[in-house]
Amino acid sequence: MSKDPSTLLLEHHLKVLKLPTFVRDYASVAAACAQERCDYPAYLLRLTERELIERERKAAERRIKDARFPVLKTIGSFDFKAQASINEPLVRELLVGEYITRRENVLLVGNPGTGKTHLATALGHTACAQGRRVRFMTTSGLVTQLLEAREDRSLRRLLKQMERIELLVLDELGYVPFSKAGAELLFDVISRAYERTSVIITTNLPFENWTEVLGSERLTGAMLDRLTHRVHILEANGESYRLKDAKARLKRR
Ligand code: ADP
Ligand code: MG
């Protein structure tokens, strides 16, 4: 059955007004409302609610995509019992997201395999759902990108882009030492983020060893000064989850 002209016109107007959920649902909601005898404002309320919910869902989806998490890990799949060294109440508090409003940082320090990346991703993921602009990068990935941007004269643009981020997650500081130029560029990013962007850093290195990857003691001091001015520290010092998992599997065999 072909649609009558007023229906076609209505759908056209709704599309122009960018109300896709109206287009999809107006007829079914009208039928439901007719049955429940709700009035016109109630009908409109239902439709606008649906449109808003759908819009928010899409925006969160986009933010998660833009954050570029390597693997999607959420807090739901994190087993706090398996990693007793993690301060669970602090993680729960951070998940509320106030630290981002206050531009505070989070340092996740601990041995490999203790769930640092998992937790950093979960915090980032939750922040996306709360409407924050998030970006996840490995620290060495960021440094490479900065060096390349400087090479092709797009550094200013890259730094400008990064200013829009509300939560920057830098994973794995400590596995690869940086060149002098690389360390300086990283310092530049951290300085710019100071009191403007929240930064989460995961690292296997205790603070006293950061010079090993950053080179200069002076630069390390200045960077730690900015990072730790307003900081929450989560330490993970248990056994590697991967190792424990592998051992358990071996035992079963
Ligand atoms: P790290 O970054 O500290 O090296 P990861 O976060 O990459 O460790 O954790 C290694 C793997 O083990 C990941 O697949 C992660 O999801 C998983 N994992 C680690 N700790 C836990 C935990 N407590 N509960 C559930 N999964 C965990
Ligand atoms: Mg990791």
Asked whether 117 lines ligand 1 (CB < 6 A), one says yes
Q: How many angstroms is it from 234 CA to the middle of ligand 2?
A: 14
**At residue 193, does pLDDT exceed 90?**
yes
- Examine the pLDDT at 253 and tell me if it is beyond 80: no
CA of 64 to the centre of ligand 2 (A): 19
pLDDT of residue 238: 83
Q: State pLDDT tens for residues 68-84.
A: 999 999 999 999 999 99
Note the pLDDT tens digit of each residue in 4-27. Answer: 999 999 999 999 999 999 999 999
CA 216 remoteness from chain centre: 30
Q: What is the mean pLDDT of residues 172-201?
A: 96
Domains in the chain, please, with CATH? 5-63 (no CATH), 75-247 (3.40.50.300)
Share of the chain above pLDDT 90, in %: 92
User: Is the pTM higher than 0.85?
Assistant: yes
> Which residue has its alpha carbon closest to ligand 1 atom 9?
115
In this prediction, residue 243 carries a pLDDT of 82
Residues 6+ apart with CB under 8 A from 189: 142, 146, 159, 162, 168
Mean pLDDT taken over the chain: 95
Residue nearest to atom 20 of ligand 1 (CA): 115
| pLDDT given at position 1 | 65
- 113 CB within 6 A, ligand 1: yes
Question: Max alpha carbon distance in the chain (Å)?
Answer: 76
pLDDT computed for residue 244 by the predictor: 81
Residue 207 has pLDDT above 90, yes or no: yes
What pLDDT digit, counting tens, does each position of 92-136 carry? 999 999 999 999 999 999 999 999 999 999 999 999 999 999 999
Residue with the smallest CA separation from ligand 1 atom 6 is 115
